[in-house]
């Protein structure tokens, strides 16, 4: 009978230790997970508020905006010369930062060209260049910015 009590007490102690360890690990996981980002809306689209809206003014007076959507992709919209806004279009990517604009990365100095950059969820910096005709070079990893 004493052996049975000792075995039961050992099993109970082991179960308590396992539960305590599991609770500690769960608590650690909860404290290291970032808070859910708040969402904002603009022009019919939803984006991550923390990253804000990045705006680039173009030579003809039109404007292009960039946001990080709730899917972590970069989204853009722009005005026409009459001032009306396009719908949002995804540019893809996996951003984990606000969007940055860098003018002058193209060597020809064309005022219609610029780079859109972000820090990715993969830990790398990414850029996508706007060409004079409005097309894009496509996302690529860069050293940093």
- Tens of pLDDT along 13-29? 444 443 333 333 333 33
Q: Tell me the per-residue pLDDT of 79-135, one tens digit each, with 9 for 90 and over.
A: 999 999 999 999 999 999 999 999 865 566 788 889 999 999 999 999 999 998 999
Task: pLDDT band for 38, please (50, 70, 90 cuts).
Answer: very high
Judge residue 67's burial from the number of C-beta atoms within 10 Å of its C-beta, 0-12 exposed, 13-18 middle, 19 or more buried: buried
Report the distance separating Cα 48 and Cα 44, nearest Å: 14
Give yes or no for a contact between 88 and 113, defined as CB atoms under 8 angstroms apart. no
User: 48: which 2 tokens?
Assistant: 């991550």
Q: Which residues contact 14 (CB under 8 A, 6 or more apart)?
A: none
Report the distance separating Cα 84 and Cα 69, nearest Å: 21
Mind spelling out the 3-state secondary structure of 8-39? HHHHHHHHHHHHHHHHHHHHHHHHHCCCCCCE
- Residue 140: strand pairing partners: 127
Q: What is the mean pLDDT of residues 51-78?
A: 96
Region of residue 94 (phi > 0: left; psi between -120 and 50: alpha; otherwise: beta): beta
User: 92: which 2 tokens?
Assistant: 């893809």
pLDDT of 2 > 70? The answer is no
- pTM equals 0.72
Look at residue 76 in the predicted model and tell me its pLDDT.
97
């Amino acid at each position: 009978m004493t052996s049975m009590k000792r075995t039961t007490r050992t099993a109970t102690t082991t179960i308590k230790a396992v539960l305590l360890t599991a609770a500690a690990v769960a608590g650690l996981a909860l404290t290291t997970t970032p808070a859910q980002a708040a969402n904002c809306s603009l022009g019919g689209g939803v984006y991550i508020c923390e990253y804000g809206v990045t705006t680039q003014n173009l030579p003809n007076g039109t404007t292009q905006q960039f946001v990080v959507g709730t899917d972590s992709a970069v989204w853009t919209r722009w005005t026409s010369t009459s001032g009306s806004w396009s719908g949002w279009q995804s540019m893809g990517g996996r951003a984990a930062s606000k969007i940055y604009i860098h003018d002058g990365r193209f060597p020809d100095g064309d005022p219609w060209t610029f780079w859109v950059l972000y820090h990715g969820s993969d830990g790398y910096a990414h850029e996508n260049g706007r060409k004079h005709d409005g097309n894009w070079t496509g996302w690529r990893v860069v050293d940093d910015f």
